[in-house]
């Protein structure tokens, strides 16, 4: 699942920044503010790291390495993040070294990064009850570009990993063995790619639907 | 004798759907449903939920009109439960699938394994034993559905059949694929393991059947009464002293036996998933026993003695 879809599902369930009528207690608010500030900072670090590495190298090849550590930390540290993002980072990009130099990785990392910066600033401001219209506008508008960008990057990355997975038999179990069980990671990845069609079409609709629902109900957030 | 008037409104829209006059005071909800069905042929009685309150519980078919808290003009609310299918139909379909599917893999019909193995048989005798046990289990279930079980509800929502069949048929195929695979590895501890597993399996099959018979005998034919089950002369029912739903306990035991017999991870998964589902059901049943019967034996646990 790409960045924007992740953000939409959070907003839909009101997980991280609930806009309840009574409002969260002081301690809960403080925790959420700190959490969101840290997440914003973390993704800014990743973004800055990307920019610096690009400037230093003069090209965008190999940018993955420059942000590898914080990316891994912030991706897995955010327990509320959807599993599929963790999957893409660890089970695909990390596990298949050959994929790390692909442009597609840059594509989805950029999409996630920009989305996350906007998203966490959105939550931070919402919690403080002072949401600049610019942030709200940015979140819904950038989604239109970032969502397909993220999805494309993710799909291309998985696709790039396929030949290496098939050649090395990564994460695969073959017969015969004493547990009488087998698993083919290559086929599994293909099934994941196919599953993007229904999953992402639903996700793609979420933000526009939410936006029109908000407009209709007059919810000012 | 004073007759009642009955009006039936839609629970959501409050629209008047049906008006029945000259209804006998001793008419049952079931009879009223039949009358309603006549005016609205698309809503057969099984898919009608009739209640006193739009958001209230459904009334039972046996409830008698004059014993309900209604005036001589009774107002009921109707909710459509959706297309219904009989329990018997669902059980027969969901159990026939695994029986047939497993045999397809056992006989190695073409397009499952490599062509050179088509219609060959396994050289491991435990594979033949497993096929017999699996087939016996599902044949037992089919016969129990036809001759033993007495269902409280006649029907369930139609979509359940798709959900249930996917579960049973899917898992049956997954397990059968590995057990009957040409590269199948027999249990590590060989004959000892298989013998122990078979004893456990058979013991629990007999136990499960004993419980089904005991539960059937609690309920006279055609009735829907509910009573506390107690141990009978059959030693396999003495487990009622410790457990509310020993049919599930024995079922778990059967599948543990089958897992041990085949030493197959997908079978272990199936056992685990089934165990989780049966525990949910057992806890629900246990809770409703406690609610309905003040004198329910306190020593009993839902599914595993003392533990769960």
Q: For all residues of chain B together, what is the average pLDDT?
A: 93
Q: Between the ranges A68-77, A130-139, B11-20, B254-263, where is the mean pLDDT highest?
A: B254-263
Q: How many CB pairs under 8 A join A and B?
A: 29
Interval B254-282 mean pLDDT: 96
Q: Which residue of B has its CA nearest to A178?
A: B185
The residue ranking higher by pLDDT, B82 or A55, is B82
Cα end-to-end distance, chain B, whole Å: 54
Closest approach of A96 to chain B, Cα-based (Å) = 27
* Domain extent listing, chain B: 4-82, 87-292
The residue ranking higher by pLDDT, A119 or B82, is B82
State both tokens at A49: 């790291």
CA pseudo-torsion sign B275, B157, A199, A217: negative
Put simply, the answer to whether B178 touches A178 (Cβ < 8 Å) is no
The residue ranking higher by pLDDT, B248 or A12, is B248
Put simply, the answer to whether A180 touches B188 (Cβ < 8 Å) is no
Among the listed residues B212, B93, B92, the one whose alpha carbon sits nearest the alpha carbon of residue B150: B212
What residues of chain B lie within 8 A of the CB of A180, using their CB?
A: 178-179, 181, 184-185, 262-266
Put simply, the answer to whether A182 touches B188 (Cβ < 8 Å) is no
pLDDT at B302: 95
pLDDT at A173: 93
Choice among A81, A102, A116, A154 that is catalytic: A154
For tokens 């920009």, the residue is A114
CA distances from B27 to A89, B22, B33, B201, B255 (A): 66, 11, 10, 49, 47
What residues of chain A lie within 8 A of the CB of B265, using their CB?
A: 179-181
Closest approach of B47 to chain A, Cα-based (Å) = 32
CA distances from A21 to A25, A40, A211, A219, B244 (A): 12, 26, 20, 12, 45
Contact between A171 and A185 under an 8 Å Cβ cutoff? The reply is yes
pLDDT at A8: 39
Q: What single DSSP character describes residue B239?
A: G
pLDDT at A81: 45
The per-residue pLDDT for range B122-136, each reduced to its tens digit, is 999 999 999 999 999
Put simply, the answer to whether A180 touches B264 (Cβ < 8 Å) is yes
pLDDT above 80 for B175 = yes
- Residue-by-residue DSSP string for A27-38: HHHHHHHHHHHH
Interval B193-218 mean pLDDT: 96
Q: Which residue of B has its CA nearest to A181?
A: B265
Put simply, the answer to whether A179 touches B265 (Cβ < 8 Å) is yes
Q: Between the ranges A26-35, B48-57, B207-216, where is the mean pLDDT highest?
A: B207-216
Instruction: Provide the 3-class DSSP secondary structure of residue B189.
Output: coil
pLDDT at A61: 67
Q: Which residues contact B22 (CB under 8 A, 6 or more apart)?
A: B3, B5
pLDDT along chain A (221 residues), means of 10: 38 41 55 68 77 72 68 56 74 85 87 86 80 80 86 91 92 93 93 84 70 62 44
Instruction: Provide the 3-class DSSP secondary structure of residue B49.
Output: strand
Among the listed residues B253, B168, B169, B166, the one whose alpha carbon sits nearest the alpha carbon of residue B208: B253
Choice among A64, A120, A147, A186 that is catalytic: A147
pLDDT above 60 for B213 = yes
Gap between the Cα atoms of A111 and A5, Å rounded: 11
- Residue-by-residue DSSP string for chain A: --HHHHHHHHHHHT-SS---SS---HHHHHHHHHHHHHHHHHHHHHHHHHHHHHHHHSSSTTHHHHHHHHHHHHHHH-TTS-HHHHIIIIIIIIT-GGGGG-HHHHHHHHHHHHHHHHHHHHHHHHHTT---HHHHHHHHHHHHHHHHHHHHHHHHHHHHHHHHHHHHTTT-B-SS-TT---B-HHHHHHHHHHHHHHHHHHHHHHHHHHHHHHHHHT---
State both tokens at B194: 């298989």
Q: Which residues contact A180 (CB under 8 A, 6 or more apart)?
A: B178, B179, B181, B184, B185, B262, B263, B264, B265, B266
Share of chain B above pLDDT 70, in %: 99
Put simply, the answer to whether B185 touches A176 (Cβ < 8 Å) is yes
Q: Which of A175, A178, A182 sits opposite B263 (nearest CB)?
A: A178
pLDDT at A216: 65
Put simply, the answer to whether A179 touches B263 (Cβ < 8 Å) is yes
Gap between the Cα atoms of B35 and B67, Å rounded: 19
pLDDT above 80 for B38 = yes
Q: Is the pTM of this model over 0.95?
A: no
Closest approach of A4 to chain B, Cα-based (Å) = 32
Q: Which of A21-35, A187-201, B21-35, B252-266 has the lowest mean pLDDT?
A: A21-35
The residue ranking higher by pLDDT, B161 or A29, is B161
Q: Which residue of B has its CA nearest to A177?
A: B185
Closest approach of A136 to chain B, Cα-based (Å) = 37
pLDDT at B255: 98
Q: Which of A75-79, B136-140, B293-297 has the lowest mean pLDDT?
A: A75-79
Q: Which of A77-91, B128-142, B146-160, B281-295 has the lowest mean pLDDT?
A: A77-91
Closest approach of B30 to chain A, Cα-based (Å) = 42
Residue from B178, B190, B259 whose CB has the most chain A CBs within 10 Å, to mutate: B178
Q: What single DSSP character describes residue B60?
A: P
Gap between the Cα atoms of A6 and B243, Å rounded: 45
Instruction: Provide the 3-class DSSP secondary structure of residue B61.
Output: coil
Strand B155-157, strand B84-86: pairing: antiparallel
Residue from A173, A179, A180 whose CB has the most chain B CBs within 10 Å, to mutate: A180
- Number of Cβ within 10 Å of residue B177's Cβ equals 19
Put simply, the answer to whether B183 touches A176 (Cβ < 8 Å) is yes
Q: Which of A175, A180, A182 sits opposite B263 (nearest CB)?
A: A180
Active site residue A147: yes
Closest approach of A183 to chain B, Cα-based (Å) = 11
Helix B190-218 with B246-262: angle, nearest 10 deg: 160
Q: Which residues contact B169 (CB under 8 A, 6 or more apart)?
A: B94, B97, B98, B101
Helix B246-262 with B125-147: angle, nearest 10 deg: 160
Put simply, the answer to whether A178 touches B264 (Cβ < 8 Å) is no
pLDDT at B172: 97
Which parts of B40-158 fold into alpha helices (H)?
A: 87-106, 125-147
pLDDT at A23: 46
Q: Which of A196-210, B33-47, B155-169 has the lowest mean pLDDT?
A: A196-210
Domain B4-82 CATH (choose: 3.30.450.20, 3.10.20.90, 3.40.50.920, 3.40.50.300): 3.10.20.90
Active site residue A102: no
Gap between the Cα atoms of A146 and A213, Å rounded: 21
Put simply, the answer to whether A182 touches B178 (Cβ < 8 Å) is yes
Contact between B15 and B44 under an 8 Å Cβ cutoff? The reply is no
pLDDT at A102: 84
Contact between A50 and A109 under an 8 Å Cβ cutoff? The reply is yes
pLDDT at A40: 75
Put simply, the answer to whether B266 touches A177 (Cβ < 8 Å) is no
Share of chain B above pLDDT 90, in %: 77
B interface toward A at CB cutoff 8 Å?
A: 178-179, 181, 183-185, 188, 262-266
CA angle A184, A185, A187 (to 5 degrees): 70
């Amino acid at each position: 699942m790409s960045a924007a879809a992740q953000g939409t599902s959070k907003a839909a369930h009101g997980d991280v920044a609930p806009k309840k009528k009574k409002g969260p207690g002081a301690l809960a608010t403080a925790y959420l503010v700190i959490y969101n500030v840290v997440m914003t900072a973390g993704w800014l670090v990743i973004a800055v790291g990307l920019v610096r590495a690009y400037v230093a190298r003069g090209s965008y090849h190999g940018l993955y390495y420059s942000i590898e550590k914080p990316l891994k930390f912030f991706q897995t540290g955010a327990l509320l993040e959807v599993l599929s993002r963790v999957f893409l980072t660890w089970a695909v990009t990390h596990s298949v070294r050959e994929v790390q130099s692909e442009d597609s990785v840059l594509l989805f990392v950029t999409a996630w990064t920009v989305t996350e910066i906007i998203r966490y600033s959105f939550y931070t401001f919402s919690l403080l009850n002072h949401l600049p219209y610019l942030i709200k506008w940015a979140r819904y508008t950038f989604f239109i570009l970032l969502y397909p960008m993220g999805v494309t990057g993710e799909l291309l990355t998985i696709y790039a990993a396929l030949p290496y997975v098939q050649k090395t038999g990564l994460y695969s179990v073959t017969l015969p063995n004493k547990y009488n069980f087998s698993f083919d990671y290559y086929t599994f990845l293909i099934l994941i790619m196919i599953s993007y069609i229904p999953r992402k079409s639903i996700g793609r609709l979420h933000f526009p639907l939410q936006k029109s629902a908000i407009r209709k109900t007059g919810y000012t957030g | 004798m004073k007759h009642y008037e009955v009006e039936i409104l839609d629970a959501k829209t409050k629209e008047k759907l049906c008006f029945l006059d000259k209804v006998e005071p001793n008419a049952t909800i079931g009879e009223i449903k039949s009358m309603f069905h006549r005016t609205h042929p698309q809503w057969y009685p099984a898919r009608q939920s009739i209640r006193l309150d739009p958001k209230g519980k459904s009334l039972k078919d046996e409830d008698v009109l004059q014993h309900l808290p209604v005036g001589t003009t009774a107002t009921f609310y109707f909710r459509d439960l959706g297309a219904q299918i009989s329990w018997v139909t669902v059980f027969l379909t969901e159990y026939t699938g695994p029986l047939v599917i497993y045999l397809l893999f056992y006989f190695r019909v073409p397009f499952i394994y490599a062509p050179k193995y088509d219609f060959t048989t396994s050289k491991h005798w435990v594979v033949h034993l497993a096929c017999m046990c699996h087939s016996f289990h599902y044949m037992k279930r089919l016969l129990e559905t036809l001759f033993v079980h007495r269902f409280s509800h006649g029907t369930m929502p139609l979509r359940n059949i798709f959900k249930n069949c996917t579960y049973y048929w899917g898992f049956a195929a997954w397990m059968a694929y590995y057990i009957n695979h040409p590269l199948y590895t027999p249990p590590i501890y060989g004959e000892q393991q298989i013998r122990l597993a078979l004893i456990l399996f058979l013991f629990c099959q007999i136990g499960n059947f004993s419980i089904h018979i005991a539960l059937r005998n609690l309920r006279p034919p055609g009735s829907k009464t509910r009573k506390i089950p107690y141990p009978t002369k059959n030693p396999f029912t003495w487990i009622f002293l410790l457990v509310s739903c020993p049919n599930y306990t024995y079922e778990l035991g059967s599948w543990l036996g089958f897992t041990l017999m085949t030493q197959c991870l997908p079978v272990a998964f199936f056992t685990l998933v089934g165990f989780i589902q049966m525990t949910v059901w057992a806890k629900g049943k246990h809770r409703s026993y406690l609610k309905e019967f003040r004198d329910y034996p306190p020593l009993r646990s839902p599914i595993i003695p003392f533990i769960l």
